[in-house]
């Protein structure tokens, strides 16, 4: 998570309403898109150094629901999926699907990836997946690319270099027989980046993207950066531009949307109740049918050490979050 910040309105609790699962239950399809409802997930224990699987299980107990999507992060030549990650997908009492987040270009550049100079790295991952993970899984490549773009020609890290890198990795994995990877392109969706002339060049193409992802946060602290509700993290836009959700629906209508990281925060030492933010989620999901998955990023201290994104920073925050988690909208069978 390359966290850029966010914010909240102190106000009355929003009534919780949401689309109801159809009779007979909801289940995932070929690209892990649920037939109804919204997949529920987490990236727990961020920046703690603790094992992700242990943090994920502890978070499930805290929140009161199995987090179906188990979000983990890798870079470069790391060997993954790890044994612990694979074990998490084989727990019959807690069905889960991996969301593997991989910075393929780590130590190099997107241009080098696109040119095939890191194919040995890609092929090693393909071989490991084929040998260890027969189940479908989500794969994010180089999440939040906006923060890493260097627009100067020849940098190897332009927006077009990212798109070419993404295309190359997905196409090579497919050529190597990896048929169970469901690809996700995950943006920051920050208004600063959406205003850049190169932002549109980041998209790799509908043929290599299965889901459009968004990593976005709001502050529960009044008058602080990105104060807002769940709707605000979905609707950031450049001046006179289109909000992220509407941009995705308009430009890529066939692609389900995953909120691949989301959260509500306050500054450490400035504790504020997050219940209003958590209570605002279900009404927004009811109005935004393209959203098919939401994944909470939980950490008591962010990358800069100054923001608390945990669900239990106050008792009432946790109560509201547990109420959200208990909603049947998130009851989906993995198939």
Name the CATH architecture for the domain at 26-333.
Alpha-Beta Barrel (3.20)
d(CA 157, CA 203): 14
The whole-model pTM stands at 0.92
Angstrom CA distances, 97 to 43, 79, 229, 275, 296, stand at: 12, 18, 28, 28, 15
Q: Give the DSSP letter of residue 270.
A: -
Strand partners, 217: 263
Inter-residue contact 62 to 311 (CB < 8 Å): yes
Can you give the pLDDT of all 335 residues of the chain as single tens digits? Answer: 443 333 332 233 333 344 444 445 899 999 999 999 999 999 998 777 789 999 999 999 999 999 999 999 999 999 999 999 999 999 999 999 999 999 999 999 999 999 999 999 999 999 999 999 999 999 999 999 999 999 999 999 999 999 999 999 999 999 999 999 999 999 999 999 999 999 999 999 999 999 999 999 999 999 999 999 999 999 999 999 999 999 999 999 999 999 999 999 999 989 999 999 999 999 999 999 999 999 999 998 887 778 999 999 999 999 999 999 999 999 999 99
Q: What residue segments make up the domains of the chain, in order of their start?
A: 26-333
Cα torsion at 333, 39, 122, 163 (round to 10°)?
A: 140
Cα dihedral 38, 13, 8, 304 sign: negative
């Amino acid at each position: 998570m390359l966290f850029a910040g966010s914010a909240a309105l102190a106000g009355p609790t929003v009534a919780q309403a949401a689309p109801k699962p159809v009779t007979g239950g909801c289940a995932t399809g070929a690209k892990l898109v649920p037939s109804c409802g919204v997949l529920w997930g987490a990236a727990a224990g961020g920046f703690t150094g603790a094992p992700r699987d242990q943090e994920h299980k502890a978070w499930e107990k805290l929140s009161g629901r199995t987090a179906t999507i188990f979000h983990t992060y890798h870079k470069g030549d790391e060997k993954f999926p790890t044994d612990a990650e694979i074990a998490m997908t084989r727990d019959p009492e807690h069905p889960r699907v991996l969301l593997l987040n991989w910075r393929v270009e780590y130590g190099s550049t997107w241009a080098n990836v696109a040119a095939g100079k890191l194919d040995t790295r890609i092929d090693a991952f393909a071989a490991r997946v084929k040998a260890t993970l027969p189940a479908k899984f989500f794969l994010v490549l180089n999440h939040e690319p906006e923060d890493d773009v260097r627009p100067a020609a020849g940098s190897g890290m332009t927006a077009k270099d990212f798109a070419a890198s993404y295309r190359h990795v997905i196409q090579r994995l497919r050529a190597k027989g990896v048929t169970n990877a469901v690809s996700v392109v995950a943006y920051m969706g920050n208004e600063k980046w959406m205003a850049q002339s190169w932002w549109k060049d980041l998209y790799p193409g509908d043929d290599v993207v299965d889901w459009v992802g968004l990593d976005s946060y709001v502050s529960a602290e009044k008058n602080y950066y990105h104060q807002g509700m769940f709707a605000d993290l979905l609707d950031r836009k450049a001046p006179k531009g289109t909000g992220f959700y509407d941009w995705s629906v308009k430009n890529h209508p066939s692609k389900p949307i995953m909120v691949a990281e989301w959260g509500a925060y306050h500054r450490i030492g400035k504790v504020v109740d997050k219940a209003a933010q958590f209570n605002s989620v279900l009404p927004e999901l009811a109005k935004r049918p393209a959203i098919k998955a939401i994944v909470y990023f939980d950490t008591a201290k962010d990358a800069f050490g100054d923001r608390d994104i945990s669900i239990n920073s106050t008792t009432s925050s946790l109560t509201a979050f547990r109420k959200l988690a208990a909603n049947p909208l998130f009851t989906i069978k993995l198939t």
